Structure 1
Amino acid sequence: MRTTGLAAIATMVAGCAGAGAGTSPPVKPAAGQAGIAATSATPSTSATPKPTGVEAVLARMSVEDKVGQLFMPVLYGPAADGSSGENQARFGVGTPAKAVAKYRPGGVILFPWAGNIKDVRQVVALTNGLQKASPKIPLLIGADQENGRVSRLAPLVTDMPGASVIGSTGDPSLARKAARVTGTELRALGINLDFAPVADVNINPKNPVIGPRAYGSDPRKVAPMVAAAVQGFHDAGIASTAKHFPGHGDTNVDSHSGLPVIQHSLSQWSRLDAPPFAAAIGKDVDAIMSAHVVMPKLDPSGDPATLSKPILTGLLREKLGFDGVVSTDALDMAGVRKKYGDGQVAVRAIQAGVDLLLMPPDFPKAYQAVLAAVKSGRIPARRLDQSVRRLLKLKAARGLLERAPVADPAKAERVLRSPEHRKVAQLIKDRAR
Structure 2
Amino acid sequence: MPHTTRRQVLGAAAGTAAALGMNAVHADAAPPPAAASRRVRERAEALVRRMTLEEKVGQLFVVEVYGQAADAPHSKNRELYGVDTPADVIKEYRPGGVIYFDARRGTDNFRTPRQTAALSNGLQRAALHSGARLPLLIATDQEGGSVVYRMPSPATQLPGNMALAASRSRTDARRAAEITAAELASVGINQDYAPSADVNVNADNPAIGVRSFGSDPELCSQLVAASIRGFHRGGTAAAAKHFPGHGDTDTDSHTGLPVIHHSLDELDRIDLPPFRAAIAQGVDTVLSAHIVVPALDPAKRPATMSPPIITGLLREKLGFRGVIATDALDMGGATEDFPPDIAPVRALQAGCDQLVLAPQLDTARKAVLKAVRDGTITQARLDASVVRLLAHKLRHGLFPRPYVQESRAERTVGKRRHLLDGSALTDRTITLVKNEGDVLPLPTTRRSVLVTGWGTDQVDGVSAAIAARTDQYASPLSTGSAPDADQIAACVRAFADHDVVLVLTNAAVASDRGTAQAALVEALRKSAGNRPVIVAAVQNPYDIRHFPDTPTYLTTYSHTTPSLDSLVRILYGDTPPTGRLPVPIPALDDPTRTLFPYGHGLRYS
Report the TM-score when normalising by structure 1: 0.89
Secondary structure (helix, strand or coil) at the match of 2:127 reads: coil
Superposed CA deviations along residues 159-199 of structure 1, whole A, max 9, x for unmatched, are: 11111110111111111111110000000001000000000
Change (3 A) 1:338 1:32: farther
Write the letter of the residue equivalent to 1:352: A
Q: Is the 8 A contact 2:196 2:241 kept in 1?
A: yes
1:57 corresponds in structure 2 to 47
2:139 corresponds in structure 1 to 142
Q: Is the 8 A contact 2:329 2:358 kept in 1?
A: yes
Cα distance in structure 2, aligned partners of 1:64 and 1:164: 42
Write the letter of the residue equivalent to 1:267: D
Cα distance in structure 2, aligned partners of 1:28 and 1:309: 24
1:17-166 mapped onto 2 (5 Å cutoff): 25-27=28-30, 29=32, 33-34=36-37, 36=39, 53-112=43-102, 113-135=106-128, 136-148=133-145, 149-166=147-164
Q: Is the 8 A contact 1:31 1:394 kept in 2?
A: no
Cα distance in structure 1, aligned partners of 2:154 and 2:34: 32
1:241-280 mapped onto 2 (5 Å cutoff): 241-280=239-278
Cα distance in structure 1, aligned partners of 2:270 and 2:47: 40
Cα distance in structure 1, aligned partners of 2:191 and 2:311: 23
How far off is 1:430 after superposition? 2.1
How far off is 1:155 after superposition? 2.0
Match for 2:231 among 230, 233, 257?
233
Secondary structure (helix, strand or coil) at the match of 2:240 reads: strand
Cα distance in structure 2, aligned partners of 1:63 and 1:240: 28
2:413 corresponds in structure 1 to 416
CA RMSD of aligned residues (A): 1.8
How far off is 1:423 after superposition? 1.9
1:346 corresponds in structure 2 to 344
Report the TM-score when normalising by structure 2: 0.64
Match for 2:424 among 423, 427, 430?
427
Secondary structure (helix, strand or coil) at the match of 2:341 reads: helix
2:375 corresponds in structure 1 to 377
Cα distance in structure 2, aligned partners of 1:287 and 1:123: 23
Write the letter of the residue equivalent to 2:197: A
Q: Is the 8 A contact 1:35 1:397 kept in 2?
A: no
1:19 corresponds in structure 2 to none
Write the letter of the residue equivalent to 1:151: Y
Superposed CA deviations along residues 8-57 of structure 1, whole A, max 9, x for unmatched, are: xxxx9xxxxxxxxxx954546269944826xx9xxxxxxxxxxx621221
Secondary structure (helix, strand or coil) at the match of 2:138 reads: strand
What percentage of aligned pairs have identical amino acids?
A: 47
Cα distance in structure 2, aligned partners of 1:333 and 1:255: 7
Change (3 A) 1:111 1:252: same
2:305 corresponds in structure 1 to 307
Aligned residues: 400
Cα distance in structure 1, aligned partners of 2:99 and 2:310: 23
Write the letter of the residue equivalent to 2:114: R
Write the letter of the residue equivalent to 2:351: G
1:392-407 mapped onto 2 (5 Å cutoff): 392-400=390-398, 402-407=399-404
Q: Is the 8 A contact 2:202 2:250 kept in 1?
A: yes
Secondary structure (helix, strand or coil) at the match of 1:326 reads: strand
Cα distance in structure 2, aligned partners of 1:33 and 1:283: 17
Structure possessing the higher relative contact order (Cα contacts under 8 Å, 6 or more residues apart):
1
Secondary structure (helix, strand or coil) at the match of 1:350 reads: helix
Superposed CA deviations along residues 277-317 of structure 1, whole A, max 9, x for unmatched, are: 00000011000000011011110112110100000111101
How far off is 1:385 after superposition? 0.5
Q: Is the 8 A contact 1:198 1:214 kept in 2?
A: yes
How far off is 1:140 after superposition? 0.1
Secondary structure (helix, strand or coil) at the match of 1:250 reads: coil
The answer to whether 1:186 aligns with 2:179 is no
Q: Is the 8 A contact 1:190 1:406 kept in 2?
A: yes
Match for 1:220 among 211, 218, 221?
218
Cα distance in structure 1, aligned partners of 2:319 and 2:36: 15
Q: Is the 8 A contact 1:161 1:428 kept in 2?
A: yes
Superposed CA deviations along residues 92-115 of structure 1, whole A, max 9, x for unmatched, are: 211111111111111000001302
Q: Is the 8 A contact 2:165 2:214 kept in 1?
A: yes
How far off is 1:405 after superposition? 3.0
Q: Is the 8 A contact 1:31 1:393 kept in 2?
A: no
Cα distance in structure 1, aligned partners of 2:352 and 2:172: 31
1:167-206 mapped onto 2 (5 Å cutoff): 167-206=165-204
Write the letter of the residue equivalent to 1:133: A
Q: Is the 8 A contact 2:29 2:282 kept in 1?
A: no
Write the letter of the residue equivalent to 1:421: H
Change (3 A) 1:278 1:64: same
Whose Rg is larger? 2
Write the letter of the residue equivalent to 2:262: H
Change (3 A) 1:31 1:207: farther
Structure with more of its chain in helix, by fraction? 1
Write the letter of the residue equivalent to 2:110: I
Superposed CA deviations along residues 188-247 of structure 1, whole A, max 9, x for unmatched, are: 001000000000000101101100001111101110100010111111121100000000
Q: Is the 8 A contact 1:32 1:393 kept in 2?
A: no
Q: Is the 8 A contact 1:29 1:397 kept in 2?
A: no
Cα distance in structure 2, aligned partners of 1:330 and 1:155: 25
Secondary structure (helix, strand or coil) at the match of 1:72 reads: strand
Write the letter of the residue equivalent to 2:32: P
Superposed CA deviations along residues 59-92 of structure 1, whole A, max 9, x for unmatched, are: 1111000000000011111111111221112112
Change (3 A) 1:92 1:24: closer
Change (3 A) 1:404 1:374: farther
1:3-22 mapped onto 2 (5 Å cutoff): none
Write the letter of the residue equivalent to 1:137: L
Q: Is the 8 A contact 1:326 1:356 kept in 2?
A: yes
Secondary structure (helix, strand or coil) at the match of 1:312 reads: helix
Write the letter of the residue equivalent to 1:274: L
Secondary structure (helix, strand or coil) at the match of 2:202 reads: coil
Q: Is the 8 A contact 1:331 1:358 kept in 2?
A: yes
Secondary structure (helix, strand or coil) at the match of 1:289 reads: strand
Cα distance in structure 1, aligned partners of 2:27 and 2:141: 25
Cα distance in structure 2, aligned partners of 1:397 and 1:35: 11
Write the letter of the residue equivalent to 1:145: Q
